[in-house]
Chain A
Amino acid sequence: MSVLETQGFKLDNSGKRVVVDPVCRIEGHLRVEVNIDSNNVIRNAVSTGTMWRGLEVILKGRDPRDAWAFTERICGVCTGTHALTSVRAVEDALGIQIPDNANIIRNLMQLALQIHDHLVHFYHLHALDWVDVVSALKADPKRTSELAQSISAWPLSSPGYFRDVQNRLKKFVESGQLGPFMNGYWGNPAYKLPPEANLMAVTHYLEALDFQKEIVKIHTIFGGKNPHPNWLVGGVPCAINMEGAGAVGAINMERLNLISSIIDRCIEFIDMVYVPDLQAIAGFYKSWTYGGGLSSQCVMSYGDIPDKANDYSASNLLLPRGAIIGGDLSKIHEVDLRDPEQVQEHVAHSWYKYPDESKGLHPWDGVTEPNFELGKATKGTKTRIENIDEGGKYSWIKAPRWRGHAMEVGPLARYIIGYAQNNAEFKEPVDKLLHDLDLPLTAIFSTLGRTAARGLEASWAAHKSRYFFDKLMANLKAGDLNTANIEKWDPSTWPKEAKGVGFTEAPRGALGHWIRIKDTRIDNYQAVVPTTWNGGPRDAKGQIGAFEASLMDTPVAKADEPLEILRTLHSFDPCMACSTHVMSPDGQEMASIKVR
């Protein structure tokens, strides 16, 4: 047994070890091991990325103009945001300016991705950590209707409507085909909603499932195709032909009208269903204040959604940019992705080799050389690890640090930074939510705060889509139809060597691609993804990452049903539906669950 102190946490690895091991390969499998004391409180947490993801290596030597197409394939959810980050990195390296329309269309695509991702995350990947589906079967449809009407004017709220949904759900459950509701911890005491709130939430789960399909059409229209939209270094690949009657690929008035109506419906659904549901559910979990982790100390956002084209400075980015350290909200630090002293990746506890592992490397100088070795205290075998040794190397994820600090990234980080900047677009909705729930500001440093920030951001993104759509229409009406700048498309116009960085705020946090180009080919490519920031392991100084910190000191109602662990990990929106095995301390599989 040993107790280590870091970042205000006491890590105690005595007690019972519980392993949660999602066998998922989207953006890296994630495995978490925790130590639970005699009161079932988590006293140590270890986050392991169990997948080698050598995108950097397979891009070497390829044409930089093609990199987006490969990065789009890393993950099934973040396709567009990786592609956008990639084309920005190449444009930065080669000094390519994009037209205003291209900037607007990219913003509209990125905002659509945020809206879609947050909505699907809340209802389909995360809600079931708070909502008990089986309890919904016991709800009184009439009282459910009263509850729904008390929180929103959304028209689908009659007792008959909720009764119908309940009957459908009953049939589904009775047929034994729980489908997406399989493997839940139904009936766990950590579920706090009354049956009526559960039924309302499950009903909206179904409505959201139907509605999410609409949002994606924005990508189909602007990206030319879906599910893998096209991107272009220098702009966007879609031409605009206002008079055109459905010419293949060209954007015409009919398609623009469709986009406009989808934006309106997004605003309506988010403001009348998503945000009221979030608030109603949060009201029942006010006393569950866990999961804050690093959010009250160190958060960072690169910023995104440039208002004017080609200006990536903080003042032009509508999603806030900056870093907060030591919990000091009065000081927003500037973030410079080019400064070799700021963003650095460490590998002291990662399965990679550096010449000097006591130091980190800036991504432009990044090295991706695998080195799989296990710590001496590892239990099990190399091919079947029972307990990992966090004293040694224990993850395929590197440990990124900003000026040496472990940082949390994501919607909560963006909202804390926006709040600290006194930006009314972020501060006012937070203040209103806290006021309505009668909670202090410190309540946002929590799992619920992360989930709430995502909902508020979905609303922000929907309204911002309206702003950019109107801006696009004004340009088009003024005769500006330009969507791409191909002046530097030909590699003969490029310098012999160049380097650049592209960044976005992906739904789940700060995303950066660093590229070096040599003789018109990719010489080095490093992607530091949000899950690297949040899910990374300890560094040489022993500092823990955001996932690890967020689990600390959380009580677990039932050790063999780690609902609370999943609830907090899901609040970071790990990349996709994953299948999880929960192992007992002796390595026996106790339950198979879903990381949603």
Chain B
Amino acid sequence: MSSLPRILVLGIGNILWADEGFGVRCAEALAEHYVMPDHVTVMDGGTQGLYLLPYVEEAKRLLVFDAVDYGDPPGTLHIVVGDEVPRFMGAKKMSLHQTGFQEVLASAELLGRLPDELVLIGCQPVELEDFGGSLRDAVKAQIAPAIDVACEWLTRWGAPPVRWEGAGRQLNVDSLLMSAYEAGRPSARAACRTGDARFMQED
């Protein structure tokens, strides 16, 4: 274990809900294409809420990938830094896990163990209301730019990732990889893709 301050790169969201999967897909791609210094952990946080607290607490620096409603045009990448991060994540309740991760940050703060530096790399979603669906093209196109931004931050933090062209580290089992997940999707006719706008409070 290195004595350098820990850095956690966390992808959060739910891969089963269309653009909700943005954060997890970014973390997967980062882990696959880059070799990280020892003191950096790349993790698929899913929608795990309090389960993530120990990892967040151990980190001095936290970088989060997520689908966030900033009110921007769909597919826009938006970076938020520092104190703004938890507040920003609480701005609108649209994401599957948002309350959960906000609560993690609040809990870490209550215990006096919030990371010193927070960076949120968020993407404005195109579509969330599609259970079983994958990322929309505009959001998928932001994975590579999001990873570039993450690499800049990691470099600034003294932990430059090294690009790796071979078969990289896989965060998740084969069946959940984006290609396999998309290929196994039932037809639009079989799957209900009408979503659930009925109960969403459009405010």
Please list the residues of chain A having a beta carbon within 8 angstroms of any beta carbon in chain B: 21, 23-26, 29, 31, 50-55, 57-58, 60-63, 66, 69-70, 73-77, 79, 120, 124, 168, 172, 177, 179-180, 206, 209-210, 212-213, 216, 226-228, 230, 370, 372, 382-385, 396, 576-579, 581, 594
Contact = CB atoms under 8 A, between A and B. Distances in A.
Contact of A227 (B48, B174, B185, B190): B48
Given A26-B96, A57-B192, A61-B186, A576 B176 contact: no
Given A216-B54, A228-B44, A66 B175 contact: yes
B138 interface: no
A53 B14 CA distance: 13
Contacts of B109: 177, 179
Given A179-B110, A227-B45, A52 B195 contact: yes
A76 B195 contact: no
A23 B201 contact: yes
Contacts of A370: 192, 194
Given A52-B192, A54-B191, A179-B107, 14 more contacts: A21-B201, A25-B96, A66-B175, A70-B175, A76-B100, A77-B49, A79-B48, A120-B50, A206-B111, A213-B53, A382-B198, A383-B202, A384-B198, A384-B201
A577 B99 contact: yes
A77 B50 CA distance: 9
B103 interface: yes
Nearest to A594: B99
B22 to A, nearest CB: 15
Given A52-B196, A579-B93, A58 B185 contact: yes
B160 interface: no
Given A69-B176, A209-B107, A209-B111, A372 B198 contact: yes
Nearest to A381: B198
Contacts of A54: 131-132, 191-192
A210 to B, nearest CB: 6
Contacts of B46: 73, 76, 79, 227-228
The size class of the interface chain B forms with chain A is: 35 or more
Nearest to A31: B199
Interface in B45-68: 45-54, 57
A6 B111 CA distance: 49
A71 to B, nearest CB: 10
A355 to B, nearest CB: 18
B166 interface: no
Contact of B172 (A228, A372, A382, A385): A228
B158 interface: no
Given A227-B48, A579-B93, A53 B110 contact: no
Nearest to A595: B99
B201 to A, nearest CB: 6
Given A61-B184, A61-B186, A179-B106, A69 B173 contact: yes
Contacts of B33: none
Contacts of A579: 93, 99
B16 interface: yes
Contact of A212 (B44, B50, B186): B50
Nearest to A172: B110
17 contacts: A21-B199, A25-B96, A50-B196, A53-B131, A54-B192, A60-B190, A61-B186, A76-B48, A76-B100, A180-B103, A180-B107, A209-B107, A227-B51, A227-B52, A382-B198, A383-B197, A383-B202
B5 to A, nearest CB: 19
A323 B143 CA distance: 51
Contact of A57 (B172, B173, B174, B186): B186
B173 to A, nearest CB: 5
Q: What 9 pairs across the A-B complex have the smallest Cβ distances?
A: A179-B106, A76-B47, A58-B132, A66-B175, A50-B199, A213-B54, A227-B48, A370-B192, A577-B99
A583 B191 CA distance: 32
B200 interface: yes
A454 B44 CA distance: 30
B97 interface: yes
Given A58-B16, A66-B173, A206-B111, A26 B199 contact: no
A372 B96 CA distance: 22
B15 interface: yes
